[in-house]
Amino acid sequence: MGRTWLSEEQVEQAVYGGAILGGGGGGWIKQGLENGKKALTKGRVELITVDELKNADKAVCVSLVGAPAAKEQYVSDAQFFDTIQLMQSNYPENIGAIMTNENGAATTVNGWLQAALSGLPVLDAPCNGRAHPTGSMGSLNLSDIPNYVSYQTAAGGKDQRAVRAFMSGELQTVGDAVRTMSVAAGGMVAVARNPVSIEYVKQNAAVGGITQAIELGRTFLSEAVGLNKIEAVTTFLQGRIVKVGTVNAFQLHTAGGFDVGTLRVDNCELTFWNEFMTIEENGERKGTFPDLIMTFDVQSGAPVVSAEIQNGQQLAVVCVPKTELLLSSTMENLALLSTIEPVIQKKIV
């Protein structure tokens, strides 16, 4: 897409495209639209490619960490901006751009508000081109670098639940601390973390992932009829519609800042850990994370995240092979993928 000043039309496209690429996670559509449009009221938001910066320049990842279904979640504009200020004040090098951790209804526009308030551009290279459950999966395989020191800031919560912090240390340890903070804050915190060079971004991130979300959203919004929308995005992503049917046996519980559960759509069983992890039809595996598994409301065609599914709902289930997605290098990291298995009690690796 090149260097672009983002518009309100592109907010809507990015949010709907991101919702589809969220694969059941990545936040709520309403939240994404509100955050993206709000960003444009605070200032101009510039999207740039990796080619606009030098290889040695640094980009910082921003995200929201927590459980989408948490009822007491709260993050203010000032808290979003606070994470950037805390990082700029404590990290020893200059920050040249902001990048989101993943694509999702809310996460694709992560950083747009911070960009508007700080004047930093948004990098067209999310850490992952689809949504994922753990912080490490959005950390560009930094977990494989011996003695890597992670720098992270977090802020969120209202009134007595309000928290803010700058932390440095081992990647998983700091990531776990941020997740714990999200629970203490009522379910969600804004985060800025792990500044990396543009050279490293080119090697490990989903370069062009924001543009893909915008183009996917444009495809979705160009159709008026529900099933036509679903078919159009399935074709765009080179995926397939696995099942159109009725939801039953939907179960969700929130634990440790995650939404975890199962559901059936007729004879198909889906598991999720924020994002959909597996789909099986009559016991036969049809898709496995990081394949993109996504649910759509049959009537409206709207993407439906895992936390808002209801029994009796009519859904279409789409699966896109991982080979057709823009993905982080973390999506080939078996150690990271294996952490899913004890949570959903299914084989992933």
* pLDDT tens, position by position, 212-240: 999 999 999 999 999 999 999 999 999 99
pLDDT digits (tens, 9 = 90+) for 258-272: 889 999 999 999 999
* Average pLDDT of the segment spanning 75-86: 94
CA-wise closest residue to 120 among 89, 88, 90: 88
Q: Which two tokens stand for residue 125?
A: 């290279």
* Average pLDDT of the segment spanning 83-95: 94
pLDDT digits (tens, 9 = 90+) for 234-261: 999 999 999 999 999 999 998 776 889 9
In this predicted structure, what is the pLDDT of residue 333?
95
Roughly what angle, to the nearest 10 degrees, separates helices 29-42 and 8-21?
150
User: Is the predicted pLDDT of residue 69 greater than 70, yes or no?
Assistant: no
* Average pLDDT of the segment spanning 177-184: 92
d(CA 275, CA 215): 22
Q: Which two tokens stand for residue 247?
A: 């939801």
Q: How confident is the model at residue 203 (pLDDT cuts 50, 70, 90)?
A: very high
Taking only Cα atoms into account, the Rg of the chain, rounded to an integer number of angstroms, comes to 19
Domain ranges of the chain: 4-209, 225-336
Which of 3-17, 138-152, 260-274, 334-348 is the least confident region?
138-152
* Average pLDDT of the segment spanning 153-181: 94
d(CA 83, CA 85): 6
Whether the ω angle into residue 290 lies within 30 degrees of 0, i.e. cis, is yes
d(CA 236, CA 230): 10
Q: How confident is the model at residue 346 (pLDDT cuts 50, 70, 90)?
A: very high
User: Is the predicted pLDDT of residue 68 greater than 60, yes or no?
Assistant: no
Portion of the chain with pLDDT greater than 70, in percent: 98
pLDDT digits (tens, 9 = 90+) for 309-331: 999 999 999 999 999 999 999 99
CA atoms within 13 A of residue 78's CA, in its CB half-sphere: 5
User: Is the predicted pLDDT of residue 285 greater than 80, yes or no?
Assistant: yes
In this predicted model, which residue has the larger pLDDT, 136 or 237? 237
d(CA 122, CA 326): 18
3-state SS, the chain, equals CCCEECCHHHHHHHHHHHHHHCCCCCCCHHHHHHHHHHHHHHCCCEEECHHHCCCCCEEEEEEEEECCCCCCCCCCHHHHHHHHHHHHHHCCCCCCEEEECCCCCCHHHCCHHHHHHHCCCEECCCCCCCCCCCCHHHCCCHHHCCCCCEEEEEEECCHHHCEEEEEEECHHHHHHHHHHHHHHCCCEEEEEEEEEEHHHHHHHCCCCHHHHHHHHHHHHHCCCCHHHHHHHHHHHCCCEEEEEEEEEEEEEEEECCEEEEEEEECCEEEEEECEEEEEEECCEEEEECCCEEEEEECCCCCEECHHHCCCCCEEEEEEECHHHCCCCHHHHCHHHHHHHHHHHCCCCC
Mean pLDDT of the chain: 94
In this predicted structure, what is the pLDDT of residue 136?
83
* Average pLDDT of the segment spanning 260-286: 97
In this predicted structure, what is the pLDDT of residue 219?
98
Name residue, tokens 């605070």.
Answer: 42
Q: How confident is the model at residue 175 (pLDDT cuts 50, 70, 90)?
A: confident
User: Is the predicted pLDDT of residue 143 greater than 90, yes or no?
Assistant: no
CA-wise closest residue to 297 among 229, 224, 213, 249: 229
Query: Which residues have C-beta within 8 Å of that of residue 18, sequence separation ≥ 6?
Result: 26, 32, 103, 104, 105, 106, 107, 108, 109, 213, 217
Region 4-209: CATH code: 3.40.1610.10
Question: In this structure, are residues 194 and 140 in contact, taking their beta carbons and an 8 Å threshold?
Answer: yes
Q: How confident is the model at residue 82 (pLDDT cuts 50, 70, 90)?
A: very high
